[in-house]
Amino acid sequence: MAAGQPGVSALGLARSENPAIPSLADIRASARRTLSVEARGLAALGEAIEGELGEALDAAIGLVEQAKGRVIVTGLGKSGHIGRKIAATLASTGTPALFLHAAEASHGDLGMVTQDDTLLAISWSGETSELGDIVHYAGRFGVPLIALTSNAESTLGRAADIALVLPRVEEACPNGLAPTTSTLLQLALGDALAVALLERRGFSASDFRVFHPGGKLGARLLKVADLMHQDTEMPLVRLGTAMSEVLIEITGKRFGCCGVVDDAGKLAGIVTDGDLRRHMSGELLVTPVERVMTSSPFVVDPFEMASVALGQMNRRPVPITVVFAVEEGRPVGILHIHDILRAGVV
Q: Is 15 domain-assigned?
A: no
Q: Give the structural domain span for 115.
A: 29-203
Specify the pLDDT at position 4: 47
Question: Within this chain, do residues 173 and 93 fall inside the same structural domain, yes or no?
Answer: yes
Instruction: List average pLDDT for each run of 10 residues in the chain, which is 346 residues long.
Output: 49 54 83 95 96 96 94 96 96 92 92 95 95 94 96 96 96 91 97 93 69 61 90 95 95 93 96 91 92 94 90 89 95 93 80
Does the pTM of the predicted model rise above 0.75?
A: no
Domain of 314, CATH number, reads 3.10.580.10
Q: Is 6 domain-assigned?
A: no
Strands 322-327 and 330-336: antiparallel
HEC string for 202-254: CCCHHHHHHHCCCHHHHHHCCEHHHHCECHHHCCEEECCCEHHHHHHHHHHHC
Q: How many CB atoms lie within 10 A of CB 91?
A: 18
Whether 154 and 125 have beta carbons less than 8 Å apart is answered as yes
Question: Within this chain, do residues 90 and 155 fall inside the same structural domain, yes or no?
Answer: yes
Specify the pLDDT at position 205: 66
Distance CA(179)–CA(304), nearest Å, equals 44
Question: Within this chain, do residues 199 and 242 fall inside the same structural domain, yes or no?
Answer: no
Q: Is 217 domain-assigned?
A: no
CA dihedral 34, 36, 37, 41 (to 10 degrees): 130
In 3D space, the residue among 318, 344, 46, 339 whose CA is nearest the CA of residue 188 turns out to be 46
Q: Identity (one letter) of the amino acid at 226? A: D
Last residue of a domain, one of 203, 233, 267: 203
C-alpha distances in Å from residue 326, one per residue of 115, 164, 190, 255, 331: 48, 50, 41, 17, 4
Specify the pLDDT at position 286: 92
